Structure 1
Amino acid sequence: DSCNQGGGLCRVGSCASGEYLAQFCFEPVILCCKNLSPAATES
């Protein structure tokens, strides 16, 4: 759950546009993707 706690999303195969591979949820199939510009910082 460290991926979700860090603001990431678990994705299969590849990350969506505007996201980058931060780590693995389940290596090597499920990726932990995070936004390049985190929405959490927007007010």
Structure 2
Amino acid sequence: MEYQAFFVIGLIMSQVLLAHINADLLTSFIERVLLTCDYQMLPLRAS
């Protein structure tokens, strides 16, 4: 029983860590995409 409990806790912890890492990656990726879009739109705004 103790082994199963530790396994479940470890699983939850790893999922939480993965979620945080993925959120950070996703955020930086979205920011990069938005920056790229802004740079591509600048000439259109200027004209």
TM-score bracket for this pair, using the shorter chain length: under 0.3
Give the TM-score, by structure 2 length: 0.22
Return the index of the structure with the highest Cα Rg: 2
Point out the structure with the larger helix share: 2
Point out the structure with the larger strand share: 1
Give the TM-score, by structure 1 length: 0.23
